Structure 1
């Protein structure tokens, strides 16, 4: 009986572990709208329109807070709208020229991406879990004057925050259309529920026999 109970518990735990394992992480990059690569539930697009005129070290947009890790100033402006992969207002660096930005998501996300332009050095985007474990990272080359719609990001289960870091200081960058989704729960497959129910039933039968 003890052996059966141990087996049942181990089997159920194994099933639960297999269905709750995080989805494989991956990098995101392409041309056009980041929304083409970010799907799922509660997709949000931050186009910075409501923040035009902002200048500071931390910008809260409801579902995400963007800050400079070194305390340098950055701004939101319509300067260069329609250029450097922007469609309107954009987050811009040339106030204090931050070399690293941090994105803190109010609720864990499974994917995020943004249009990025005007950079003259490599940048790296790295996504982390709430426990500070690296989920994935992507280093991309200078975009320079391109206006082809380059976007970059990360997908992976349970992204809590991300860091965007420059390879060299004092780089003028523009960032627009920050797109992210709400983390979707991993559904339990029907077969797994059947297995759990079956194991539970066997345990019940064993208990009834023992009681008799």
Structure 2
């Protein structure tokens, strides 16, 4: 599809950039919302029809209902997506947060929870997050997930927040290559209020970057 566009408009760099940006957003929508192969073919076919007619039609744009569907998926339990969908989404979000200057090695990527999946009743986590329903509501959402690249020490999974940041999320040099993880390392606490605020901020980044209005 991109090649077809370049064949007719390759000399206009601004037009190419605009088309590729819109095409990437469409591809992200189909990926995030788990459209099957037939649904993807049908949706791309509409764009190809416009290209064959040499027009830049609106069918490459997301309809309002598609924007709403994508936002619901982004605000849902992202960790429960397939690994391919989850990882690509979080890496794309990280690229937006880092102003697209980061480099990634997807084959060593892991996605980890800040608030752990298992909370010991005697832990600091249980004190900070006493409501089990609230923990479940935020556990698998974007705000509570961070990308990591190094081997994990399973014993560190349930460390209290401050210890977990230094022993689990930071790299061997005390820093991380991921912007999303760096944000967590700079957080002084990990309360429900902090996570709710972070969720709003991350959704705003995606909404603005993908123009999901």
Kindly indicate which of the two structures has a greater share of residues assigned to helix: 2
Q: Could you say which structure has the greater relative contact order, defined with CA pairs below 8 angstroms and 6 or more residues apart?
A: 1
- TM-score of the pair, normalised by structure 2: 0.24
Kindly indicate which of the two structures has a greater share of residues assigned to strand: 1
Larger Rg: 1
- TM-score of the pair, normalised by structure 1: 0.24
